[in-house]
Amino acid sequence: VDRTERKRCRRREDRAFGEILHQKLGDVMEADAQEAFRRISNLVTLGKVCEIKSDEGLALARVELDGRGSDFLPVLLWNSDFVKVWMPIRIGQQVAVFFPFGEGDFGLVLPGIYHKGNREPGGANDGNVIVEIGGVRFESDGADLRLKAPGKIKIEPGGDIDIDGSTIHLNEEEI
């Protein structure tokens, strides 16, 4: 076989190899793209709390996602080494679950989603900070603080109570 024929055979083999390689790489890239899309699609999922460990003092919850229960996952709450806010979630509460890697084996429960069954508190669009716990309501506009409670308010100081104000009203009477 002459030299020209060998070059042609090599080119055909190289072309065939290149086509096979291109096809295999395309298949791998398509599978990788599908896997990436699946992970991105699973980053945040909505569900309902089906079991909690709040009564044990733990911020952990199982969430029903698409008809199956998750492992116990940590609940994201406000806290630092100085300020701690404990807002236990309830069974049946709607939450979002953030899966940072797009996989169901580790996630964070994000409570606090407003929806038809859990409306924003009245006055929420007035620029006020509002905290409602059951029937108790704390409200502030940055200057005044209002506290409303359907029951009694009990103050148990470890020391003195100082009230500084120009006027004190008790049952609408000036003291």
Question: How confident is the model at residue 124, as a pLDDT?
Answer: 65
Alpha-carbon distance of 157 to 154, in angstroms, equals: 10
Long-range contacts of range 68-74, CB-CB < 8 Å, 24 or more positions apart? 70/97, 70/104, 70/107, 71/105, 73/97, 73/106, 73/107, 73/108, 73/109, 74/108, 74/109
Helix, strand, or coil here: 35? helix
CA 101 to each of CA 42, 104, 107, 143: distance values in angstroms, whole numbers, following the listed order: 9, 8, 8, 43
Residues paired with 137 in a beta bridge: 132, 148
Question: And the tokens for 162?
Answer: 């100082």
pLDDT in tens, the chain (175 residues): 577 777 777 777 777 776 777 777 777 777 778 888 878 887 898 999 999 998 787 889 999 998 889 999 999 987 777 777 777 788 999 999 999 887 777 899 988 877 787 777 776 666 577 788 888 888 887 788 889 899 998 888 899 888 888 888 887 776 6
Question: How confident is the model at residue 98, as a pLDDT?
Answer: 93
**Residue 171 burial (CB count, 10 A):** 5
